[in-house]
Structure 1
C-alpha cells in the first residue's frame, strides 16, 4: 500500500476525502491528515508518505510553500493540489514544482481516480527500478568485499579507497566475523541480512564464506551475532582488528584460522584470538608425554579408580587443547593412547586380554565426533567399562588391589605416596594398613616382588644389567645390593648356581 497524507484547513474536506475514495482498491492508504502546511510538514518528516493531497490557501503555511519546502530535499514524492481557486498563477507555480494534478473544489471523484491510478503505476515502476538499482548496488558491493577478502581485485590503492567510500566501508577499524552453523548458507545469509537492515556499522557478505564486516566497535552487532551463534548452537570467529581496509584479508584469514579450532571448544562459542592464547606458550611446541599418561592410567585401572581415571582423561584433553591439536591429531592421539593402555594392561597380565576382547570397541567412532569433549567422553566411558569388567565379580580390597598392582607392574616407578594420592589416602595411614594386612612394608613388598621376577629372568638367561632394568631398578649396583640382601648371594652367583643345577638335572636324566 502506498501512503497518502491529506492537508486541508476544512475538516469536512479532510473527512470527505478519507471516506469518499476507496483508497485500498487503488493500492493506497490514508496515513494521516493535517489542517495546515506547518502541521503537514511535521507529519511528512515523521511518516514519509508517498503522496500528499494539499490545499493551496491555509493558515500558518500554505500548500505551495509546503510543496516548495519539501521539494528542496525530496524529488520523488507526489503532490496533488486540491483548491477552490482557479488561478493561473497558482497553476503555473504548481507546474514548476512538478505537481501531478491541479483539481478544483468541489472534488469530482472521477477526476481524482485516474490521477491515483497513474501515480500508482509510476510508483510501481519507480520502486521496481529502485529495487533493481539497490540489488545491482548490493551485488557490486558484495563483489567488492569478496575481492577485498581474497585480494583478487585489480584496483589501485586510490581506486580501492574510493570504492570503500562509495560502499560505506570507511572506518577507523575493521574486523571480520565468520560463522559455522548447522543450517544452509542461504538461510544464514537471510537472517544476517535482516540484522543488517536494523544495525549500523556492519555489512553482510556471502563469499568466500558467510560473514560480517564489523566497522569500528560495532557492539550491537557483536551482541546480536553472539546470540545468533548461541541460538544455532554453532560457532562464530572474530578475526583481529585492522585499521586499513586494504588489509581486510588479514582479519578474514585470522577468523578462518580460528574456525579450524572449533573442535577444541564447546558449541555456541564465538572464538577470538584470546581463545588460542595459552599461559605457557612453549607448551604448544613441546612434545606430548603420552607415555606418562599411559602409565598413570594403567595404574588407575588396575587399582579400580574410576574418578581418578576420569580426571586423568580430562587432564589429557586439556593438554591437547592447550597444545592446539587439530581434530585429526586429537583423534589419532586418543586412539593411540587407548591402544597403549590396553597393551600395557595385557603385557602385565595376559589373562586380561580375553576380558578386554569381550568388550568390542570400534575406533572409527572417535573419528565421527564433532569436538574433543565428545571424544573424551567416549574414552572415559570405555575406561570405566574396563574397570567394571575387570572387577565385576570381585570384592577386592584396596590393599589387595595394591598387591595386584605391584605383582603386575613391579617394573614401574611405584611409590606409596603416589598411590595414596590416587586413592585419596594419607600415605602414612595407607602404609600402616598395608603392613597390617601383608606383614610387610610397602617398599619391602615391592622389592621382594622385583627380586622374585628378577630370579625368573636370571634363570631365563638374561644378563644382570638387563634383569635390573626389567624389574624396575635403573641402577644395576642397587639391584645387586637388593638381590644379595633378599637372596643371600649376588645375581651373577645365583645365575651360575641355577645353570649348575640345570646341568645336574640334565645329567641325572641321562
Structure 2
C-alpha cells in the first residue's frame, strides 16, 4: 500500500477527503492527518509518506512553504495541492516546486481517482528504478571489493577513500547444507556494524570498518546466538588491518578455514585457538591398549579423557579433513580387532557403516561422539568379568597387567569374576606355575623398574604408583626380585644411561 498524509486546516475537508473514496481499493492507505503546515512537516519527517495532499493556504506555514522545506530536507514524496482559489499564480508555484497536481476544493471524486491511478503507476515505476539503481550500486561496490580482496586487483583511486580507515576481517563457513540465501537473510538482522559482505562459493567474508576488536567479536558472538545454528562457524583475524594489508588478511582467513573441521565446536575461531604441535607425544599403541581395557573391564567413565586426547592430537597435527577421517576409521578397526581377540561375538560397525558415519560428520567433535557411543555399546556387549573355564586365567592376567596399582588379591579377583576364591587360586597356580600374589608382585616390580629408570619420580612415589602403600614392604619385595634396593637400582641404571649417552 502507498501511504497518504492529508494536511488541511479545515476539519471537514480532512474528514471528507479521507472518506470520499475507498482508498485501499486503489492501492493507497491514509496513514494520518495534520491541521497545519508545521504539524504536516513533522509528520512527513516521522512517517515518510508516499503522497501528501496539502492545502495551499494555511495559518503559520503555508502549504507552499511546507512543501519547499520538505524538498530541501530531501523528502521525495509526491505532493498534491488543494486550494479553494482558482489562482494561476498558485499553480505556477506548485509546478515550479514539482508538485504532482493541483486540485480545487471541493474535491471531485471523478477527478481524484484518475490522479491516484496515474500516481500509483508512476510511484511503482520510480520505486522499481530506485531499486535497480541501488542494486547496481551495490553490485558495483561488491565487484570492486571482490577484485581487491580476492583477486588482488588494485584500483588506487578507489582505495584512496579508505586510507584513513582500519579494518577487521572475518569469514563464515557453514558446516552443513545451510543455503547462502538463508544465511544472508539472517545476517542482515543480526550484524548491525558490518561494513561489507562478500560471498565466494560457500564462504562469506565480512568486513568491519573503524571498530575495536572487542566490538567485532561481540557482534559475531551475538550473531551466533541470534541465528541459533550450531553448524555455522566464524573465523576471525585478530590483527587490525589498514586497506593495504587486507589481501594478506584474506590469506590468513583461508588458512583458518582449513581447520573448521577439526575445530568445528568453536563458534568463533581465531589464530590463538589453534593448538601448537607440542605437549606429550600421542602413542596410539598405548592409547589403544588403555581404551580397550576400559571397554572390556567396565571403566567407561574414564573414556572421556582419552577421547579428548584423541581430539587434541588431531587439532595439533593440523591434518586435512580427509586424512583425519581415514585415520579414525583405521583406529576404530584396530579397536575392533583388539577386542575381538577375547570377545568373538561382538557386533561392530562394518567398514561401510564407519565410512558413512564419519564422512557425514560436520566436525571432528561429531566423530569423537560417534566413537564414544560405539565404545559404550561394545562395553555393554562385552561384560569383561564374564568368562568361561578356558579364558578366566587369561582375563585375570589381562586385568592385573592394567590395574596392578589397585588393591588386588585372589578374593578380590574371585569377587570380580564371580568364582570361588579357593578354586580360582588353585586354577591360577596350576595354569601359570605361580601363585596369584607372586604373579602380581612380578608385574608390579617390572612396572616399578620402568618408572625408576625412565621417570623422575622418587622411590616412595614409584612405590605408590605400582600398588605398594607401605614403602618398607616395597623395598623388601624389590630387593627379593631384583637383588638390590630400588635406590641402588635407580642409581646404577641412570649411571649406565649416562655412560651410553657419552
TM-score by length of 2: 0.70
Contact 1:175 1:251 in 2 (8 A): yes
Offset of residue 16 of structure 1:
0.5
- Spell out, residue by residue over 1:72-116, the C-alpha distance to the aligned partner (whole angstroms, 9 max, x if none): 122632211111233333333222212222222222233333332
Q: Which has the larger radius of gyration?
A: 1
Offset of residue 404 of structure 1:
1.4
CA distance in structure 1 between the partners assigned to 2:52 and 2:244 by the alignment: 46
* Unaligned runs of at least 5 residues, structure 1: 347-351, 451-480, 486-510
Counterpart position of 2:144: 144
Contact 2:197 2:207 in 1 (8 A): yes
Secondary structure of the structure 2 residue equivalent to 1:139: helix
Counterpart position of 2:246: 248
1:70 aligns with 2:70: yes
Q: Assess, with a 3 A threshold, how the Cα gap between structure 1 residues 102 and 313 changes in structure 2: closer, same or farther.
A: closer
CA distance in structure 1 between the partners assigned to 2:318 and 2:235 by the alignment: 16
Q: Assess, with a 3 A threshold, how the Cα gap between structure 1 residues 401 and 315 changes in structure 2: closer, same or farther.
A: farther
User: In the alignment, which of 207, 227, 233 is matched to residue 200 of structure 2?
Assistant: 207
Offset of residue 225 of structure 1:
2.3
What aligned pairs does 1:29-44 form with structure 2 within 5 A after superposition?
A: 29-44=29-44
Counterpart position of 1:79: 79
Q: Assess, with a 3 A threshold, how the Cα gap between structure 1 residues 392 and 405 changes in structure 2: closer, same or farther.
A: closer
Contact 2:4 2:53 in 1 (8 A): yes
Offset of residue 331 of structure 1:
2.9
1:370 aligns with 2:362: yes
Offset of residue 186 of structure 1:
4.2
Offset of residue 47 of structure 1:
0.6
Secondary structure of the structure 2 residue equivalent to 1:123: helix
Bigger CA drift: 376-385 or 3-12? 376-385
Contact 1:81 1:99 in 2 (8 A): yes
User: In the alignment, which of 257, 267, 270 is matched to residue 268 of structure 2?
Assistant: 270
Offset of residue 173 of structure 1:
2.1
User: In the alignment, which of 429, 436, 440 is matched to residue 437 of structure 2?
Assistant: 440
Counterpart position of 1:182: 176
Counterpart position of 1:56: 56
CA distance in structure 1 between the partners assigned to 2:125 and 2:377 by the alignment: 72
Counterpart position of 2:306: 312
RMSD after superposition = 4.0
CA distance in structure 1 between the partners assigned to 2:120 and 2:217 by the alignment: 41
CA distance in structure 1 between the partners assigned to 2:292 and 2:218 by the alignment: 51
- Spell out, residue by residue over 1:225-249, the C-alpha distance to the aligned partner (whole angstroms, 9 max, x if none): 2125533543333334442234333
Counterpart position of 2:21: 21
Counterpart position of 1:394: 387
User: In the alignment, which of 419, 442, 461 is matched to residue 404 of structure 2?
Assistant: 419
Secondary structure of the structure 1 residue equivalent to 2:103: strand
Contact 1:6 1:32 in 2 (8 A): yes
Counterpart position of 2:450: none
1:321 aligns with 2:306: no
Q: Assess, with a 3 A threshold, how the Cα gap between structure 1 residues 150 and 59 changes in structure 2: closer, same or farther.
A: same
Offset of residue 68 of structure 1:
1.5
Contact 1:176 1:251 in 2 (8 A): no
Q: Assess, with a 3 A threshold, how the Cα gap between structure 1 residues 159 and 386 changes in structure 2: closer, same or farther.
A: closer
Contact 1:148 1:246 in 2 (8 A): no
Contact 1:192 1:204 in 2 (8 A): no
Secondary structure of the structure 2 residue equivalent to 1:231: coil
Contact 1:181 1:229 in 2 (8 A): no
What aligned pairs does 1:401-416 form with structure 2 within 5 A after superposition?
A: 403-405=396-398
Q: Assess, with a 3 A threshold, how the Cα gap between structure 1 residues 99 and 439 changes in structure 2: closer, same or farther.
A: closer
Bigger CA drift: 378-387 or 63-72? 378-387
CA distance in structure 1 between the partners assigned to 2:384 and 2:218 by the alignment: 57
CA distance in structure 1 between the partners assigned to 2:187 and 2:238 by the alignment: 23
Offset of residue 38 of structure 1:
0.6
Offset of residue 314 of structure 1:
3.4
CA distance in structure 1 between the partners assigned to 2:217 and 2:170 by the alignment: 14
Counterpart position of 1:353: 341
Counterpart position of 2:232: 234
Contact 2:194 2:206 in 1 (8 A): no
Q: Assess, with a 3 A threshold, how the Cα gap between structure 1 residues 354 and 288 changes in structure 2: closer, same or farther.
A: closer
Counterpart position of 1:106: 106
Secondary structure of the structure 2 residue equivalent to 1:81: strand
Secondary structure of the structure 1 residue equivalent to 2:29: strand
CA distance in structure 1 between the partners assigned to 2:19 and 2:290 by the alignment: 88
CA distance in structure 2 between the partners assigned to 1:266 and 1:382 by the alignment: 21
Contact 1:239 1:253 in 2 (8 A): no
Q: Assess, with a 3 A threshold, how the Cα gap between structure 1 residues 232 and 305 changes in structure 2: closer, same or farther.
A: closer
Q: Assess, with a 3 A threshold, how the Cα gap between structure 1 residues 404 and 5 changes in structure 2: closer, same or farther.
A: same
CA distance in structure 2 between the partners assigned to 1:312 and 1:91 by the alignment: 87
Aligned residues: 421
Bigger CA drift: 289-298 or 34-43? 289-298
- Spell out, residue by residue over 1:282-310, the C-alpha distance to the aligned partner (whole angstroms, 9 max, x if none): 517x8643233234445556755433455
Offset of residue 6 of structure 1:
1.0
Offset of residue 380 of structure 1:
3.9
* Unaligned runs of at least 5 residues, structure 2: 414-420, 426-434, 448-479, 485-502
